[in-house]
Amino acid sequence: MNQGVDRGRGSMSEHDQARFEAEVQERWGGTEAYKESSRRTKKYSKDDMAKIKAESDGIEVGLAAAMADGDAADGERAMDLAEAARLHIDRWFYPCDTARHAGLAEMYTADERFKAHYEDRAEGLADFVAAAIKANAARG
């Protein structure tokens, strides 16, 4: 994944967070997306971060429900939730167009840490989310 940085997922120990931040800095530290995300997040209070997490969790719960209900990942409900996820990143972290979001979708299934985040919520959710994001990007 070289499309941007997705922060704030899951819970990590301080040691894991430091190791993760070092990796993020190495992989994306020079990108405009990283710089913008750092600039924005430095301003956020604990209440802001709680709001951001609640919003993200709500989107993920919606995606898990759509999958559990048998909705197609390229159906309107799933694509609308994928668009909400994209707008969430765009609003809180860095500009995230549909192409960048599709790049993140690749990471959500290729990186075991991201995949586990979704799979912990519901088995098969990582692939469903990635497919919904890609379908949303394709609908323009």
The number of folded domains in the chain is 2
102: Cβ contacts below 8 Å, ≥ 6 apart: 3, 133, 134, 137
Task: Please spell the DSSP secondary structure of 73-91, one letter per residue.
Answer: TTSHHHHHHHHHHHHHHHH
Per-residue model confidence as pLDDT tens digits over 13-39: 444 555 556 665 565 556 888 888 888
Residues 35 and 71 in one domain: no
Could you tell me the CATH number of the domain that includes residue 68? 1.10.490.50
pLDDT of residue 12: 40
Global confidence as pTM: 0.81
pLDDT of residue 17: 52
Assess if residue 7 is contained within a domain.
Answer: no
pLDDT of residue 19: 56
Report the C-alpha gap between 10 and 36 in whole angstroms: 21
Q: Strand, helix or coil at 7? A: coil
pLDDT of residue 1: 34
> For residue 23, what are the domain limits?
12-43
